Amino acid sequence: MRNFLLLICWLPIAVIADDAPRARDLGIPFDGTPGPLNAITDVSGVTVGHSTVIEDYGNGSAARTGVTAILPRGEDSIMLPVFSGTAVLNGAGEMTGTIWVEASGFLEGPVMITTTQSVGMVFEETIKWRVNHADRDVTGYAWSDPVVAETWGGRLNDEDGFHVRPEHVVEAIETAKSGPLAEGNVGGGTGMVCYQFKCGIGTASRVVATVDGEFTVGVLVQANYGWREILQIAGAPVGREIPVAQVADIRTPMDDEMGSIIVVIATDAPLLPHQLKRVATRAGLGIARVGGMASNGSGDIFIAFSTANPQELRAGTNLSVRMLGNEHLTPVFSGAVLATEEAIVNALVAARTMTGFEGRTIEAIDHEALRAALRKYNRLQGSE
């Protein structure tokens, strides 16, 4: 009976997501209440676009990369910043633009995510796109310090080929939309690997109740970190249950060092910049729930923003902004932790086995093996 009810609940989600199962569809239990799409786009106004670059050039050279764009206010993001804050768990990575986010309290424009060697290209093209598509803003200028983040896709992508081109940046921005999102091997996440499984982009959301009503916290991750042994899902040590095959071992002596994860947290709760900085910090707790430990070479960098307060707040006069009292923040914090956790697992579950640069193949996690591991630890829903 329970199974039947759950099936009704899950079916639409599965259908929407191009028939690919998401983590919940496999019976993985998560805490908290997701939004309708269980995606960052549950936060009204947020749009996401992917440009996926999969090209083969012969002799093992291959592009397995791309660009993901998150627009806090959709097209209005060009002219209308959002309050924002950032946090760093381990800083072996890049997110440009954070010095200004921290000083101003504003994220101006989109958050762009790509592979390591393409940060410069994406930075430049994002500015050019801005220059070509809008006038100077109310401050008399136009943002020119975009937020561009990266993780290192070099296992599957020929990083030194610099295969992200201007048109990919434009595609990511211009195809950004609300609604259900693709996960796994898409956009900036195309070539990414986590826990030695194929990984990439994942998303999730939580609806949280406060005295000021319900708010949504949505998360999108580009996950590319961790070694197999430490992977835990729903608390179960599944990494050890699905060990890395000797033949397929892709680890190099310093492989642990190259992991990274970018976490983007959106909310419609009316938070001020210093509150959003606290929200961003919670991403680290979500990573830890999947076993992550932030190795020396990991760039674990987070940004949170609020879509509330959609007036011009930089040069306006006699401004008034809505604010959620600190005493009511805890549900937002918990939502950020839990949505980060689920977004990572969604990235793992959605990714597909991929062969790329130098003919290297990274296997996706086997869904049945994962379910078996969870069942062993009594953590598979609908399997009693």
Q: Could you say which residues in the range 219-278 bind a copy of itself, by CB under 8 A?
A: 230, 232, 234-237, 252-254, 256-258, 272-275, 278
Q: Which of 260, 268, 295, 306 is catalytic?
A: 260
Task: Single out the residue of 137, 26, 131, 160 nearest to residue 80, CA to CA.
Answer: 137
| Active site (annotated) includes residue 205 | no
Q: What track of x and - describes contact with a copy of itself for positions 275 through 294 (by CB under 8 A)?
A: x--x--xx-xxxxxx--xxx
| Active site (annotated) includes residue 51 | no
Binder to a copy of itself among 72, 74, 97, 187 (CB under 8 A)?
Answer: 97
Q: Measure Cα distances from 367 to 20, 28, 73, 96, 341 in Å.
A: 11, 11, 35, 36, 18
Binder to a copy of itself among 91, 177, 248, 366 (CB under 8 A)?
Answer: 91
Residue closer to a copy of itself by CB (options 37, 262) is 262
The dihedral sign for the CA sequence 289, 295, 299, 305: positive
Task: Single out the residue of 382, 28, 20, 5 nearest to residue 182, CA to CA.
Answer: 20
Distance between CA 173 and CA 191 in Å, rounded? 20
In this structure, the chain runs to a length of 384
The residues facing 85 across adjacent strands are 304
Residue closer to a copy of itself by CB (options 5, 321) is 321
Backbone phi and psi for residue 88, each to the nearest 5 degrees, phi listed first: -125, 125
Residue closer to a copy of itself by CB (options 75, 255) is 255
Residue closer to a copy of itself by CB (options 37, 238) is 238
Distance between CA 296 and CA 109 in Å, rounded? 30
Residue 158 is a binding residue for a copy of itself (CB under 8 A) = no
Contacts to a copy of itself from residues 160-189, by CB under 8 A: 160, 162
| Active site (annotated) includes residue 295 | no
Residue 209 is a binding residue for a copy of itself (CB under 8 A) = no
Q: Which of 51, 77, 178, 298 is catalytic?
A: 298
Contact call for residues 37 and 179 (beta carbons, < 8 A):
yes
Residue closer to a copy of itself by CB (options 179, 243) is 243
The catalytic residues are: 260, 298, 300
